[in-house]
């Protein structure tokens, strides 16, 4: 297992994420910065023998790649190919070619079913291993996600942990304004699941929630900030899409380094 | 064909890697399979999108995954899950759609499947099986089960005339020989033509072929059929499927690419909606697929 994650390492990870996006001229930064803490924590501390991960919010592929890099599962050279021709590091996770990525995602609403199927398969085979699935909050507007929740809850998949990057912003508005399910954790509690609500940039809080014993499906709602760590990106919807200009990049790096 | 399906799957279920998922269907048909498989028989509920993704994930973990529903609920509702989660990952999930064509008759067009294999064959790594006779189902289950590709089994009901000796399963079978032009039929509707075709005098009797597998790139037409098309310069293709994406379109391209030029006549499903509802036989008749319509089409070839 890689080293325990701490704030200094997280700053390095954020900086590498920004550099990768800047050098590739690619957006989707806001949702990567909101989810990178939990992603990095999972790959540094929780992906034990037999564990598997599904990125349901496939548009945060950049954060996944950098988390894998930080955990020693991708190289720095790999990251330089991000979003370029002839790369394995596509804008959304690839179907093949990277051992830690089981499924090509990007169309929202698939990941929880894929994670649930994987968890049930391991149970039927009598194999150990835990499945982690990171979802977006807007993704809960997809009907298939609720199908998956019903299924995972019904089968009491205790070898599956669902994390939700609840940053409150989606493609063309705030989740509370577009199709509100606020408070999301209360909606989820209506199912027979263990719901934990934690500050999504507090490593200790996330760690505690992930380590908590569960007798049913566990869902960790991460209360996050889109663009976390870069003041001019925080809670700004445009950073769901925009690529970084050089001045933005340098300013963002300064903020990350100074944090 | 559901009884034969259940029997074949029960026999296969000795393999502990097999899992079977149903979208809450199979009452009075699949109970024996449910009993045999225990927790590996999963009623995924009325939630086909989830069922297909779960099946994909199970196949990804090395399980032998089968997913069953009424045909349109198996391929149309969860199409993106089939596309992204099964075929993009080249996973050997076996989809079973019951009631191919107008099989659900008077239940209405929401339950019909007349564009199923055309749609699915646009996807990579997909293989289609349409058993012609009840006796084919065991072979089809074995072939789909041995397939490393994704599979779709289009179930109907065998419709041969009483006393007909069903020939051994093959992707392409010549059911009747004659001196007339070849007639190529996809799936179980072929059985409904046997009586009227064999009653024709030999000089006008067509060579009747039944097709059970697609695409043609994996199950190409046999040389004997191509020879018949070459010599007659005609071929009549019949399918309980819309024209777009069907067997006739595939056969026409196959022939043209090989310099085999012949007149293609096509009988196919004409509409999802007719002014009135009715049985499978009624809807076939409205589409010009009834046996008498076939005879008229054969007559027009000469």
Range(s) for CATH 3.40.50.920 in chain B? 172-301
Question: How far apart (Å, rounded) are the C-alpha atoms in residues B229 and B170?
Answer: 20
CATH 3.40.50.970 assigned to B2-155 = yes
Look up the CATH superfamily of A7-258: Thiamin diphosphate (ThDP)-binding fold, Pyr/PP domains (3.40.50.970)
The span from the first CA to the last CA of chain B, in angstroms, equals: 36
Residue contact B85–A114, C-beta within 8 A: yes
Interface contacts A/B by beta carbons within 8 Å: 92
pLDDT value of position B7: 97
DSSP per residue over B78-119, as a string? THHIIIIIIITTT---EEEEES-BTTTGGG-GGG-BSSHHHH
pLDDT value of position A154: 98
**How many other CB atoms are found less than 10 A from the CB of residue A148?**
29
The single residue listed with the structure tokens 């968890």 is A119
Tokens matching residue B255 = 């022939």
| Cβ of residue B91 closer than 8 Å to a chain A Cβ | no
pLDDT value of position B234: 97
Instruction: Please compute, for residue B221, the number of CA atoms within 13 A of its CA located in the half-sphere on the CB side.
Output: 28
Which residues in B lie closer than 8 A to residue A116 (C-beta atoms)? 50, 54, 57
Range(s) for CATH 3.40.50.970 in chain B? 2-155
Average pLDDT over residues B248-262: 98
| Cβ of residue A148 closer than 8 Å to a chain B Cβ | yes
Task: Name the minimum distance, in Å, from the CA of A7 to any CA of chain B.
Answer: 35
Annotated domain spans of chain A: 7-258
**Interval A132-164: pLDDT, tens:** 999 999 999 999 999 999 999 999 999 999 999
Residue contact B53–A113, C-beta within 8 A: yes
Average pLDDT over residues B226-249: 98
How much of chain B exceeds pLDDT 90, in percent?
Answer: 99
User: Which of A103, A107, A151 lies closest to B54 in CB terms?
Assistant: A151
The single residue listed with the structure tokens 């074949």 is B8
Task: Name the minimum distance, in Å, from the CA of A110 to any CA of chain B.
Answer: 7
Q: What tens-digit pLDDT sequence spans chain A (259 residues)?
A: 677 899 999 999 999 999 999 999 988 899 999 999 999 999 999 999 899 999 999 999 999 999 999 999 999 999 999 999 999 999 999 999 999 999 999 999 999 999 999 999 999 999 999 999 999 999 999 999 999 999 999 999 999 999 999 999 998 899 999 999 999 999 999 999 999 999 999 999 999 999 999 999 999 999 999 999 999 999 988 887 888 899 999 999 999 986 6
Q: Is residue B215 reached through a cis peptide bond, with omega within 30 degrees of 0 on the bond before it? A: yes
Tokens matching residue B278 = 């009715």
Task: Decide if pLDDT at B302 tops 70.
Answer: no
Helix or strand run (H / E) with residue A187? helix A184-189
pLDDT value of position B301: 87
> Nearest residue of A to residue B63 by CA position?
A121
Residue contact A109–B57, C-beta within 8 A: no
Helix (H, G, I), strand (E, B) or coil at A184: helix
Backbone angles phi, psi at A185, to 5 degrees: -65, -30
pLDDT value of position B83: 98
| Domain B172-301: assigned CATH number | 3.40.50.920
**Interval B151-171: pLDDT, tens:** 999 999 999 999 999 999 999
Q: Is B273 exposed, middle or buried (0-12, 13-18, 19+ CB in 10 A)?
A: exposed
Residue contact A121–B47, C-beta within 8 A: no
| Better-predicted residue by pLDDT, B20 or A257 | B20
Global pTM? 0.96
Q: Where are the beta strands (DSSP E) in chain A?
A: 52-55, 131-136, 160-166, 169-170, 173-174, 194-199, 218-223
**Interval B91-135: pLDDT, tens:** 999 999 999 999 999 999 999 999 999 999 999 999 999 999 999
| Cβ of residue A114 closer than 8 Å to a chain B Cβ | yes
Average pLDDT over residues B230-243: 98
**Interval B26-58: pLDDT, tens:** 999 999 999 999 999 999 999 999 999 999 999
């Amino acid at each position: 297992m890689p080293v325990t994650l701490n704030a200094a390492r997280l700053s390095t990870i954020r900086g590498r994420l920004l550099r990768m996006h800047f050098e590739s001229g690619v957006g989707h930064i806001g949702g990567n910065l909101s989810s990178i803490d939990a992603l990095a924590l999972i790959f540094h501390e929780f992906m034990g023998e037999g564990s598997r991960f599904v990125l349901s919010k496939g548009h945060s592929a950049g954060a996944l790649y950098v988390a894998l890099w930080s955990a020693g599962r991708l190289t720095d050279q790999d990251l330089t190919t991000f979003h370029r021709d002839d790369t394995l590091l596509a804008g959304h996770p690839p179907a093949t070619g990277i051992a830690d990525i089981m499924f090509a995602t990007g169309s929202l609403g698939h990941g929880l079913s894929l994670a649930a199927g994987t968890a049930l398969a391991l149970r039927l085979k009598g194999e150990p291993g835990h499945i982690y699935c990171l979802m977006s909050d807007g993704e809960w507007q997809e009907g298939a996600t609720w199908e998956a929740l019903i299924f995972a809850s019904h089968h009491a998949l205790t070898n599956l942990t669902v994390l939700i990057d609840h940053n409150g912003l989606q493609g063309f508005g705030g989740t509370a304004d577009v199709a509100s399910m606020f408070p999301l954790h209360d909606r989820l509690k209506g199912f027979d699941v263990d719901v934990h609500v934690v500050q999504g940039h507090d490593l200790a809080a996330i760690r505690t929630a992930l380590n908590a014993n569960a007798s049913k499906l566990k869902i960790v709602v991460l209360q996050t900030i889109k663009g976390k760590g870069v003041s001019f990106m925080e809670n700004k919807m445009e950073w769901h899409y925009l690529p970084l200009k050089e001045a933005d990049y340098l300013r963002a790096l300064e903020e990350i380094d100074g944090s | 064909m559901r009884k034969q399906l259940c029997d074949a799957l029960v026999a296969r279920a000795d393999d502990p890697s097999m899992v079977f998922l149903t979208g809450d269907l199979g009452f009075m048909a699949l109970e024996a399979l449910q009993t045999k498989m225990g927790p590996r028989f999963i009623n995924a509920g009325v939630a086909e999108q989830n069922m297909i993704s779960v099946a994909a994930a199970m196949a990804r973990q090395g399980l032998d995954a089968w997913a069953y529903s009424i045909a349109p609920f198996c391929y149309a509702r969860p199409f993106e899950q089939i596309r992204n989660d099964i075929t993009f990952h080249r996973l050997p999930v076996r989809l079973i759609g019951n009631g191919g064509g107008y099989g659900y008759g008077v239940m209405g067009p929401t339950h019909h499947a007349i564009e199923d294999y055309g749609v699915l064959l646009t996807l990579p790594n997909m293989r289609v099986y349409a058993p012609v006779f009840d006796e084919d189902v065991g072979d089809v289950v074995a072939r789909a089960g041995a397939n490393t590709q994704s599979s779709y089994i289009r179930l109907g009901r065998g419709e041969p005339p009483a006393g007909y000796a069903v020939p051994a399963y093959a992707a392409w079978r010549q059911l009747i020989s004659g001196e007339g032009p070849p007639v190529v039929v996809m799936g179980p509707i072929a059985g409904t033509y046997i009586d009227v075709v064999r009653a024709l005098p030999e000089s006008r009797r067509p060579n009747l072929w039944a097709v059970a597998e697609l695409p043609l790139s994996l199950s190409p037409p046999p040389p004997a059929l191509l020879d018949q098309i070459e010599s007659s310069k005609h071929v009549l293709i019949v399918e309980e499927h819309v024209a777009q994406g069907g067997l006739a379109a595939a056969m026409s391209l196959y022939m043209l690419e090989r310099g085999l030029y012949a007149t293609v006549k096509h009988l196919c499903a004409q509409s999802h909606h007719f002014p009135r509802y009715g049985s499978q036989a009624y809807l076939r008749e409205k589409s010009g697929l009834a046996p008498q319509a076939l005879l008229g089409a054969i007559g027009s070839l000469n």
